[in-house]
Amino acid sequence: MSELEETIVAVASPPGGAARGIVRMSGPDVLHCLETVFRADGPQKPAEVERPTALAGTLHLNSLASALRCEIYLWPGRKSYTGEPVAELHTLGSPPLLDLLIKQLCAAGARLAQPGEFTLRAFLSRRIDLTQAEAVLGVIDAHDQQQLDVALEQLAGGLAQPLHTLRDALLDLLGHLEAGFDFADEDLPFIAAEELERQLAAAAEITDKLARQIGTRATAQQLPRVVLIGWPNTGKSSLFNALSEKSKAIVSRHAGTTRDYLTAKLDLDGVSCCLIDTAGVDMETDLDAPANASPDVEQESVEQESVEMARQQAQQAQVRILCIDSTRRPNAWEESRLAGRHAQSEADSGRQQQLIAWTKYDAAESFAEGNAAPPDAVPSDSIATSSFTGKGIDELRRRMREAVLRAVASSSAVVAPTAVRCRESIRLAAESLGRGREIAQGRIAADRENSAQENGVQENGARIIDGEELIAAELRVALDELGKVVGAIYTDDILDRIFSRFCIGK
C-alpha cells in the first residue's frame, strides 16, 4: 500500500489536559474508522455525509463503561485541507482518553501520523504549495502579531501568486519556442525575435523585483529595526532607556558618550522590533550615502568609526527616529535633515519610515526663549518627549508601532526559511533569464545586420534555430528554479527539510 492510501491519525490539540481535545484523521478509511467509535445523535450517519458537515454524538471506547460527548467535523470528499477525506473529533481533552481513542482508531485501520504529515498530504494533493507549507509553520510558530501577519499573508498566496504567474508566462514562451523546433523546416519562426526579447525582458524584470523583495528586506524572524539617530548629547541613550524601560545605555552630560551601538527588543503592543541606540553623528554625516567601500580602518579615529557605525545602522533600519534637542536651536545638520524630511518621506514612502523626537522637552518648557521648539510649535510629524518626565513616550511608542507596521507591509517579508530557499533559486532564475535575453538581443542585432546586407534567408534561418535552442535551455533552467520555490518541482531533501520541522498532528 502506498503511503497516501493509508489513513493517518494524531492528536491535534496541544499536549496536556484541557477542556477540549482534538483528534484529526485523514485518508480513504476515515469514514470506516469513525463508524467504530462514533454514534451520531441524529439520523444522519458519517457514511451518509456528502459535504463538509458537523455532527454531534457520542464516543464509544471499548475500555470505558460510559459514552462521552463528541462532535465530529467531517470533510468527506477532496475539498479538505489534505485533499482527501478528513475528520476531526472534538471531545474532552484528557490525555489518557485521547490515547485510548487513537488506539481504537489504529485498531480500525488508521496509523499514527508523522510530524507534518497532514500538511505534506495537502502539498502532495496540490492543495498548497511549498511556500504555503512553510507559512503554515510560520503561523504555528508566530511569536507576535507581525510574524503572524507575514505568515498569514504568505499562506494566502502573497508570494506564491506572482511566482505562479511568472512561471505560467515562461511555460507559454517555452511552448512557443518548442513548437518552432518541431516545425523547423518552416521558414517563419513561431515567435518573432523582438517579441521573444520583450517577453524575456518582462520576465527578468519581475524576477528582479521578487529577488529584491525577498533579498533585501526583513524576514519575519529578523525583527524590524528602529534606530535612534542624531547629534551628540541630544538624549538618544536616555530615550533608548525610557523606551526599553531598562538602564542599559550609559547617559552623561558629555557629548560623545555612546561609541558603539546598543540594541534592545521592544514589544510595541504586540508588534516586536529591535531598538538601536547609536553614537551621535557629525557635520559630515550623510545618512543616505552609500557605504564606504574601502574604509581605512587603521587610519580611522574612534569617533569616525562610531559615526560610520551609526550611519550603517541608520541605513539598515526600517524606521529612523531623528532626535532633536529642543533646549537649543537646531544646528545646520539638523536644519537640513528637518528641511529635507518631506522630500524624504515621499521618496521613501514605505521603504524607510522616519519619526522626529524632540527630546528634553521638560527643559524646553522652562527655557522660554532660544530653544528649538516652543511647546506649541512642534510640527505634526514630530513628538515632543522627555525621558525625565515620561512625556510623549507612550505617543512615541504608538507612532513607532504604526511606522514598523507600515515598513513591514511594504517589505513583502516572508517566513524566514522560505526567504533563504527562495533567494538562491530566484537569483539563478534571474541569471538564466538574463542570459536568454542577451542571446535574443544578439540575434536581433545579427538579423538587422543580415537584412541590411541582404543575406540569404536560409543561412539566417539556421542561426535563428541555434539561438532559440539556447534560449529554450535557459528558460528550462529558470522554470526549474522557480518551480523549486513554488513546489512544482521538489526534491526529497527539500521536503525533508520543510516537513521535519512540523509537529505531529499538523
Kindly list the residues in this chain that would bind Mg ion in the complex (CB under 5 A): 237, 257-258
Question: CA–CA separation, 60 vs 67, rounded Å?
Answer: 5
Segment lying near ligand GTP (by CB under 6 A), choices 55-63, 254-262, 440-448, 496-504:
254-262
Task: Give 278 or 432: the residue with its C-beta nearer to Mg ion.
Answer: 278
Task: Give 132 or 258: the residue with its C-beta nearer to ligand GTP.
Answer: 258
Residue 238 binding result from Mg ion, ligand GTP, none, given CB thresholds of 5 to 8 Å by partner type:
ligand GTP
Label the pairing between strands 38-40 and 53-59. antiparallel
User: Closest approach of Cβ 284 to ligand GTP, in Å?
Assistant: 16
β-strand partners of 271: 268
Question: CA–CA separation, 454 vs 350, rounded Å?
Answer: 53
Residue 256 binding result from ligand GTP, Mg ion, none, given CB thresholds of 5 to 8 Å by partner type:
ligand GTP
258 lines the binding site for ligand GTP (CB under 6 A): yes
Question: Residues with Cβ < 8 Å from 76, sequence gap 6 or more?
Answer: 30, 31, 46, 49, 50, 51, 52, 53, 85
User: Closest approach of Cβ 399 to ligand GTP, in Å?
Assistant: 17
Tell me the Cα Rg of the chain. 31
In the list 280, 392, 417, 483, the residue contacting ligand GTP (rule: CB under 6 A) is 280
Question: CA–CA separation, 483 vs 475, rounded Å?
Answer: 12
In the list 253, 297, 368, 453, the residue contacting ligand GTP (rule: CB under 6 A) is 253
Phi and psi at residue 229, to the nearest 5°: -135, 150
Residue 386 binding result from ligand GTP, Mg ion, none, given CB thresholds of 5 to 8 Å by partner type:
ligand GTP
Task: Give 279 or 356: the residue with its C-beta nearer to ligand GTP.
Answer: 279
Amino acid at 394: D
Task: Give 363 or 495: the residue with its C-beta nearer to ligand GTP.
Answer: 363
User: Closest approach of Cβ 338 to Mg ion, in Å?
Assistant: 21
Residue 495 binding result from Mg ion, ligand GTP, none, given CB thresholds of 5 to 8 Å by partner type:
none
Segment lying near ligand GTP (by CB under 6 A), choices 102-110, 211-219, 359-367, 450-458:
359-367
Q: Is 299 helix (H, G, I), strand (E, B) or coil?
A: coil
Question: CA–CA separation, 10 vs 501, rounded Å?
Answer: 16
User: Closest approach of Cβ 139 to ligand GTP, in Å?
Assistant: 39
387 lines the binding site for ligand GTP (CB under 6 A): yes
DSSP code of residue 5:
G
In the list 144, 308, 362, 469, the residue contacting ligand GTP (rule: CB under 6 A) is 362
Query: How many other CB atoms sit within 10 Å of the CB of residue 55?
Result: 20
Task: Give 388 or 490: the residue with its C-beta nearer to ligand GTP.
Answer: 388
Task: Give 22 or 393: the residue with its C-beta nearer to ligand GTP.
Answer: 393
Residue 220 binding result from Mg ion, ligand GTP, none, given CB thresholds of 5 to 8 Å by partner type:
none
Question: CA–CA separation, 59 vs 87, rounded Å?
Answer: 14
In the list 247, 252, 316, 349, the residue contacting ligand GTP (rule: CB under 6 A) is 252
| Total interface residues for ligand GTP by CB under 6 A | 23
Label the pairing between strands 86-93 and 68-75. antiparallel
Question: CA–CA separation, 503 vs 122, rounded Å?
Answer: 15
Segment lying near ligand GTP (by CB under 6 A), choices 129-137, 184-192, 357-365, 480-488:
357-365
Please give the grid coordinates belonging to residue 363.
527643559
Task: Give 21 or 232: the residue with its C-beta nearer to Mg ion.
Answer: 232
Please give the grid coordinates belonging to residue 312.
550603517
231, 260, 217: which is closest to 409 by C-alpha?
217
Task: Give 248 or 448: the residue with its C-beta nearer to ligand GTP.
Answer: 248
**Long-range Cβ contacts of 93-99 (<8 Å, 24+ apart):** 93/13, 93/17, 93/18, 93/19, 93/20, 93/21, 94/17, 94/21, 95/15, 95/16, 95/17, 95/21, 97/21, 97/61, 97/64, 97/68, 98/11, 98/13, 98/21, 98/23
User: Closest approach of Cβ 227 to ligand GTP, in Å?
Assistant: 13
Please give the grid coordinates belonging to residue 267.
514589544
Binding to ligand GTP (CB under 6 A) within 63-102 occurs at none
Judge residue 494's burial from the number of C-beta atoms within 10 Å of its C-beta, 0-12 exposed, 13-18 middle, 19 or more buried.
middle
Please give the grid coordinates belonging to residue 380.
505634526
In the list 251, 264, 503, 504, the residue contacting ligand GTP (rule: CB under 6 A) is 251
Cβ–Cβ < 8 Å for 278, 261: yes
Residue 235 binding result from ligand GTP, Mg ion, none, given CB thresholds of 5 to 8 Å by partner type:
ligand GTP
In the list 363, 488, 495, 504, the residue contacting ligand GTP (rule: CB under 6 A) is 363
User: Closest approach of Cβ 237 to ligand GTP, in Å?
Assistant: 3
**Contact track, ligand GTP, 219-248, x by CB under 6 A:** -------------xxxxxxx----------
Give the CA count within 13 Å in the CB-facing half-sphere of 295.
15
388 lines the binding site for ligand GTP (CB under 6 A): yes
Task: Give 119 or 306: the residue with its C-beta nearer to ligand GTP.
Answer: 306
Task: Give 93 or 232: the residue with its C-beta nearer to ligand GTP.
Answer: 232
Q: In sequence order, what E strands does 248-300 have?
A: 262-268, 271-277
Task: Give 94 or 257: the residue with its C-beta nearer to Mg ion.
Answer: 257
Q: Is 103 helix (H, G, I), strand (E, B) or coil?
A: helix
User: Closest approach of Cβ 257 to ligand GTP, in Å?
Assistant: 4
Question: CA–CA separation, 38 vs 89, rounded Å?
Answer: 9
Question: Residues with Cβ < 8 Å from 16, sequence gap 6 or more?
Answer: 95
Cβ–Cβ < 8 Å for 241, 228: no
Cβ–Cβ < 8 Å for 182, 311: no
> Using CB under 6 A as the criterion, which residues of the chain lie in contact with ligand GTP when the complex forms?
232-238, 251-253, 255-258, 279-280, 359-360, 362-363, 386-388
